[in-house]
Amino acid sequence: MLRIGMGYDVHKLVEERKLILGGVEIPHTLGLLGHSDADVLVHAIMDGLLGAIAGGDIGKHFPDTDPKYKGISSIKLLEHVKGLLHKEGAVIHNIDATIIAQKPKMAPHIMTMRENIASALQINIDQINVKATTEEGLGFTGTEQGIASQAIVLLDK
């Protein structure tokens, strides 16, 4: 049976944190605040995958009150979600994700993000699309207060 899942995540931009998106450390003066590495792209993808199998959300599986997840790579968490999909007999058809950020430019990093996600999920890179957009200076992403990401996934369960 085909199943669709949608994920969304947002984190605040702050000083003295690394900016990690899609498992890529992107040079920038600000980074995302969070319990893990705060990778909003991977978080949105994980929530979409969990939603498609009716598996709750990342807060259920990786609570920010658990010290073992402090500073953890979200790619590692994505690998764990891959295991949950396997247990459910779910096969990913495709993932389409969008990063919403005013700065920095994402285009130079998107291929590596796709490679990292494909590797973690053990799927082909052509099953993953990552794109980026700005909000033309509007809203919290436009004023560089945070970065958001959305993802939609299609899988067979």
Region 116-126: what's the mean pLDDT?
98
Find the range with the poorest average confidence among 24-33, 78-87, 134-143: 134-143
Q: Give the mean model confidence (pLDDT) for residues 20-30.
A: 97
Where b means 16+ CB within 10 Å and e means fewer, 118-127 reads bebbebeeeb
Question: Tokens in use for 91?
Answer: 């096969």
Instruction: Pick the more confident residue, 157 or 120.
Output: 120
Binding residues: 9-11, 35-36, 43, 57-59, 62-66, 101-107, 133-136, 140
Residue 122 near residue 129, CB atoms below 8 Å: no
* pLDDT for position 51: 97
Q: What's the pLDDT score for residue 100?
A: 98
Instruction: Note the pLDDT tens digit of each residue in 69-120.
Output: 998 999 999 999 999 999 999 999 999 999 999 999 999 999 999 999 999 9
Q: What is the pLDDT of residue 149?
A: 98
Percentage with pLDDT > 90 across the chain: 92
Residues 6+ apart with CB under 8 A from 61: 50, 55, 77, 80, 81, 84
The three-state (H, E, C) secondary structure of the chain, written as one string:
CEEEEEEEEEEEEECCCCCEECCEECCCCCEECCCCCCCHHHHHHHHHHHHHCCCCCHHHHCCCCCHHHCCCCHHHHHHHHHHHHHHCCCEEEEEEEEEECCCCCCHHHHHHHHHHHHHHHCCCHHHEEEEEECCCCCHHHHCCCEEEEEEEEEEEC
pTM: 0.96
What pLDDT score does 24 carry?
A: 98
The reported pLDDT for the residue numbered 31 is 96
- Report the binding-site residues for a divalent metal cation: 9, 11, 43
